[in-house]
Amino acid sequence: MKILIIGTTGAIGTKVKEALVQRHDIISAGRNSGDIQVDITDAASIEKMFRTINDIDAVVVTAGSSSMESFQTLSEKSLLPAIQSKLLGQVNVVLIGQHYLKDNGSFTLTSGILADEPARDAATGSIVSGAVNSFAMAAAAALKRNLRINVVSPGLAADSAKDIAHLFPGFNPVPMSKLVNAYLKSVEGVITGQVIKVHE
C-alpha cells in the first residue's frame, strides 16, 4: 500500500512509521519534517498536500497537540489551539482526504485516554479526544467508496513516559509495540468506525 503518515517524527509516529515501512510505501508529512510539509491546522495546506500526492491507500495521523491548564483559568481562547490542531486538523484531513483516497482506502486518527479518564489540568485533552472519537463514528457511517476510518486511543506511551508521566500519576505506560499494533490493525485490517483503546 501507499501510506501517508502525518507526524512521523513524534514519539508515536516514529514507531508507527518504522513498522509500516517494512511492508509499504510510506510518504511522511509534518510542518517541519517529512517528505512533504503540511500544517493540519490550515485546510489549504492539507488540500495542497493531497493534490501533490496521488493514489494514496491509507492515511495515518499521529500529529496534533493539546495543552494542559488549570480548569479555573481555562477559557474559549486557551482551548482553541488544541481544537484547531488535534480536533479540526484531523477532521479536515478526513473531510478533504476522502476526495483523494483510492477506493477501499482508510484513515487512522489519534485521540487518547483522556477521552475516557480525567487527569489534573487536562480537560482540553478530554474535550478534543472525545470529539475525535465521535467524529470517527459519524464519518464511518457516511464515507463512500468503501473507505474506512478508525481511531487509535493511546494511553501514556512508554516512549513519552520519561517526559510526561509525572503529569499523569497512576497511568500505566503502554508498550510501544502494543500501540503500533493498534495502528496496524486499523491500516491493514478490515474494521471501521472503531476506537481502538490501548490504555494499559
Ligand X SMILES: NC(=O)c1ccc[n+]([C@@H]2O[C@H](COP(=O)([O-])OP(=O)(O)OC[C@H]3O[C@@H](n4cnc5c(N)ncnc54)[C@H](OP(=O)(O)O)[C@@H]3O)[C@@H](O)[C@H]2O)c1
Residues near ligand X, by CB under 6 A:
6-13, 30-33, 38-41, 62-66, 85-86, 89, 110, 112-113, 154, 156-157, 160
Q: How far apart are the first and last CA of the chain?
A: 30
State which residue, 144 or 170, has the beta carbon closest to ligand X: 170
The minimum distance between CB 77 and ligand X, in angstroms, equals: 18
The minimum distance between CB 75 and ligand X, in angstroms, equals: 20
Please answer whether residues 95 and 153 qualify as being in contact, where contact means their C-beta atoms are separated by less than 8 angstroms: no
The minimum distance between CB 11 and ligand X, in angstroms, equals: 4
State which residue, 160 or 181, has the beta carbon closest to ligand X: 160
Which helix (H) or strand (E) segment holds residue 25: the answer is strand 25-30
The minimum distance between CB 150 and ligand X, in angstroms, equals: 14
> Could you give the CA distance from residue 144 to residue 102 in angstroms, rounded to a whole number?
11
Residues in the chain: 200
State which residue, 97 or 112, has the beta carbon closest to ligand X: 112
Q: Which three cell numbers stand for residue 156?
A: 501514556
The DSSP string of 50-119 is HHHS----EEEE---------TTT--HHHHHHHIIIIIHHHHHHHHHHTTTSPTT-EEEEE--GGGTS--
Give me the residue whose beta carbon is nearest to ligand X. Answer: 10
The minimum distance between CB 111 and ligand X, in angstroms, equals: 7
State which residue, 60 or 139, has the beta carbon closest to ligand X: 60
State which residue, 137 or 141, has the beta carbon closest to ligand X: 137
